[in-house]
Amino acid sequence: MTKISAMSLSAPNLEQVRRARVAAAGWRGQAQRLQKEAHVFYFVFKHPGTRWYARLLAVCTAGYLFSPIQLIPSFIPVIGLLDDVAVLFLGAKLLKKITPPDVLAECRQLADAAAIRRREEIRSTAAAVTSTVVATLWLLAAVAGSTLLASYLRH
């Protein structure tokens, strides 16, 4: 009887874990697509065939997102980020509509090539060693800081 109840309890947990992994992969994929689109829009902004009003739209969208003065401040938990997402979404949709298709296709190819170069650079051993050293230093700093804080709180 205990084996059956243990199996029935672990089955939903395995299903929840599987769903969480699928959701994380979905979010990760969405984030990668968003990063690629941002890179495409950067290339669109820099392309000589882009019209001035498309560049103005890109600058205004990015300026609003990075500006400390916004309609709804970003530090408000949910609403503050929703207006940023709405501005980004609308800016991206408008930029896609007003950018010539050949320019957009060329910029997508440039973004793909840049992504491949980035992946190759990340795979280099120097990058792996550097990231390991930085992570180790941060870990040591965290342990030292925690130790100092604990000794201060004891006295």
Is 105 domain-assigned? no
Q: Please, which residues have CB within 8 angstroms of residue 119's CB and are 6 or more apart in sequence?
A: none
Q: Which of 17-21, 56-60, 127-131 has the lowest mean pLDDT?
A: 17-21
In a domain? residue 154: yes
38, pLDDT greater than 50 = yes
% of the chain surpassing 70 pLDDT: 81
Give how many domains the chain has, as a whole number.
Answer: 1
* DSSP state, residue 53: H
Q: Give domain status of residue 106, yes or no.
A: no
Q: Mind giving me the DSSP string for 100-133?
A: -HHHHHHHHHHHHHHHHHHHHHHTSHHHHHHHHH
Between 131 and 146, where is the model more confident?
146
Residue 133, in any domain of the structure: yes
Q: What is the mean pLDDT of residues 55-69?
A: 84
Q: Is residue 7 scored above 70 in pLDDT?
A: no
Cα dist. 77→64, 72, 81, 98 in Å?
18, 11, 7, 33
4 in a structural domain: no
37 located within any domain: no
* Position with higher pLDDT, 129 vs 3: 129
Contact 57, 94 (CB under 8 A): yes
| Residue 144: pLDDT over 90 | yes
* Mean pLDDT for the stretch of residues 74-81: 77
149 occurs within a structural domain:
yes
Binning pLDDT at 50, 70 and 90, where does residue 11 land?
Answer: low
Write down the mean pLDDT value for the chain: 81
Q: b or e along 44-55 (b: 16 or more beta carbons within 10 Å of the residue's beta carbon)?
A: bbebeebeeebb
Nearest to 87 by CA among 111, 107, 108, 57: 57
Range of the domain at 132: 126-155
User: Average pLDDT, stretch 4-21?
Assistant: 59
Residue 108 counted as domain residue: no
Q: Which two tokens stand for residue 23?
A: 């959701």
pLDDT value at residue 63: 83
